[in-house]
Amino acid sequence: MAIVKVCGIETEYGITALPIGCANYDNPVSASSLLIRSYVMSCSKRVDWDFDGETPQVDARGFKVQHPTRYVELDSGLVNTVLPNGARYYVDHAHPEYSTPECSNPLDLVIYDKAGEMVLANSLKLANESLQITNESKSKQHGTNSLESIVVYKNNSDGKGNSYGCHENYLMDRKVPFPKIAREMVSHLVTRQIYTGAGKLGVEEHGVELDDPPFQLCARADFFEQVVGLETTVKRPIVNTRDEPHADPNKYRRLHIIVGDANLSEVATFLKIGTTAVVLAMIEDDFIDRDLVLADPVSALKQVSRDITLKQTIELSTGKSITPLSLQWELLEMSNKYAHQEGLKCLGNEDVGAQVLKYWQSVLQSLETNPLDLANQLDWVAKFQILEGYRQRHSLGWSDPKLHTIDFQYHDMRPSHSLFNKLPMLSLVSNDQIAKAVSQPPTDTRAYFRGKCLKKWGDSIVSANWDSMVFDLGSNQSQPLQRVTMAEPLKGTAEMTDTLIKDCCSPTELLERLSL
C-alpha cells in the first residue's frame, strides 16, 4: 500500500528594485535580503537554517557528484531562517524563496502556499516602509526626492531568458526503484501543464527564435534540456535525481520535482499536487497498467506548452501518437479505478482525494469542450483571456511591450497592482485559513512540533531544518547543545505533542521527557 504523500512547495520569487540603479538595493541579492530580514524582524526571533546532514550531491541513481555551489548563504550572512508556521524563508541565489511546511494533503498545501504569498506581501510592505524612511532621511540631507521600492513577482522567468523555480516535494517509499518512478512519471509531468501551466508570452528557449506561438501554456518548459538529472539551474531535467529525503533514508525518498510553474490559481495548485500524488501512489502500488512512456519527453514538453489548442499529438515510445488531453484522461481513468480498489488514504485524506478526482475530471471536460470556460480556475486561461482581450481592444500585435507588462502584472505580489487579485477566481480555501497559516503550522505533520517549539522557545533554538532542531540548554548543562531529530514526517503532530509542549516549562524539561 502506498504511503501518505506528505508534500511541500518551494517557490522562488522574482524580485527587482525600482528605480533600477538605486544606491543600496539595486541588485536582487541585497533586495531579497532586505525583504526577508524586514519580515523576520517583525514577527519572530531569527533561527538560522541548519545545513548539517544535507546531501544535495547524492544522486538517486546510486552515485555522488561534485556540487559546485555548496551553500554560500551562511558564509555571506544572508537571511536563511525558519518561521513559526514551520516554513523556511531565505535568500536562494538571487531570489527570495518561501518553502512551505510539510503538509499531509493537497488542500492543506494550497493553504500554506497561499500563506507564502501573504508572507511575501507583508514582507514587501515592511521592506518598502523601511526604504521610504531611509529615503526621506537622504532627501532631507541632500535635497533630493529619490524613492526606492522593491517589487516581487510569483512567476518563473524575467522575460530575458532567465528562469527561477517552483519545486514540489513528495514523500516516497524507498523500496520503489527510482528508474521505475522516472520512467512512469514523465508522461504525467509533460502533459499536466494543460491545467497547471501559469501561461507565458513569447518563447525563451536559448537559440530558438519563434514568432509563433506568441503565447504558451507553461512558463518553465523552455528551460528544460534533459529527461533525468541532478541539476536544477543548468541542464534542467524533467525528473530530478536529488536523493535527499529529509527523513529516515532507509524508509523514504523525497521526489523533488522542478518542472512545474508557480501558480496563483488555487485550483491549478490543488490539481498540480493532487494529481501528481495520485500518480505516484499508483507507481508505488504497481498499478499503472498501460504503456504511456513518451518517445522524446523534452521535445514533447515544449510542444505541449506551445499548443494552446491542445490538439497536437505527441509520440509514445510504442510508436503511437496521443494528445496530452487524451493521455490525462488515461491517467484519470486509472486513478478512478485505483481509488475504487485501494482508496485514497495516500493523499492524506479520503475526502480531499475524492475532491482531486472530481476537479481533475471537471477540468479535463472543460478543456475538451471550451478551455475559456476555465478562466476563473486556471492561470494560463485567465492570463490568455486578459492578454487577448487587451490586444483586441487596442489592435496590438503579440510582440507589443504593453502585453509583456500585463504578463508581469498578473504575478505582481503588491495587492494593489496584481491583476490576478482583480479576477473572480475560484477559491478552494478561505482567507481566514490562509491568514491563520501565516503564523500557525499544520497540525498533522512534524511541522507542528517545529513551529510550536520555535514559537515557545525560539531564544533557546540555535538552528533548525526539516528533520531536526538544535537546542541550547545553557552553560550549566554538561552538553548544552542538544539535537532533536524528527525523521518521521507524520510524527510530531498536534495530537502527539501539543500537551507535551504546553506542559513543559523549559527546553530542558522537554528534552528530558522526550528521552523517556
- Global pTM reads 0.94
Q: Which of 401, 374, 397 is nearest to 385 (CA)?
A: 374
Amino acid letter for position 90: Y
Burial of 503 (0-12, 13-18, 19+ CB in 10 A): exposed
- Find the helix or strand (DSSP H, E) in which 35 lies: helix 28-43
Burial 446-481 (b: 16+ CB within 10 A, else e): bbbbbbbbbbbbeebbebbbbbbbbbbbeeeeeeee
Catalytic residue among 92, 307, 379, 407: 92
pLDDT computed for residue 266 by the predictor: 98
The CA distance from 308 to 197, in Å, is: 11
The four Cα atoms 511, 467, 175, 283 give a dihedral, to 10 degrees, of 130
Q: Are 46 and 82 in contact (CB under 8 A)?
A: no
The CA distance from 354 to 336, in Å, is: 9
pLDDT computed for residue 404 by the predictor: 94
The CA distance from 463 to 83, in Å, is: 11
pLDDT computed for residue 448 by the predictor: 98
Q: Are 232 and 165 in contact (CB under 8 A)?
A: yes
Q: If you search the block for the grid coordinates 494533503, which residue do you land on?
A: 105
Q: Are 192 and 256 in contact (CB under 8 A)?
A: no
Q: Which of 260, 282, 368, 267 is nearest to 333 (CA)?
A: 282
Q: Where are the beta strands (DSSP E) in 86-235?
A: 88-92, 95-99, 149-153, 166-173, 200-201, 215-216, 224-229
Domain ranges of the chain: 7-111+154-434, 443-514
Question: Please, where are the H alpha helices in 440-506?
Answer: 447-457, 494-503
Q: What are phi and psi of 223, to 5 degrees?
A: -105, 10
**HSE of 384, CA atoms in CB hemisphere, 13 A:** 26
Q: Which of 157, 142, 476, 413 is nearest to 305 (CA)?
A: 157
Q: What are phi and psi of 309, to 5 degrees?
A: -80, -20
The domain made up of 7-111+154-434 has a fold known as Creatine Kinase; Chain A, domain 2 (3.30.590)
The CA distance from 432 to 416, in Å, is: 20
Question: Please, where are the H alpha helices in 421-493?
Answer: 431-439, 447-457
Question: Please, where are the H alpha helices in 254-394?
Answer: 266-284, 297-305, 324-342, 350-369, 379-394
Q: Are 30 and 426 in contact (CB under 8 A)?
A: no
The CA distance from 232 to 229, in Å, is: 8
Helix (H, G, I), strand (E, B) or coil at 341: helix
498 Cβ partners below 8 Å, 6+ apart?
448, 452
pLDDT along the chain (516 residues), means of 10: 97 83 69 92 84 77 62 57 96 94 98 98 92 57 55 93 94 96 97 98 82 87 92 86 93 96 98 98 96 97 96 97 98 98 96 98 98 98 98 94 96 95 97 98 98 95 96 88 96 97 96 87
Check if 351 is active-site: no
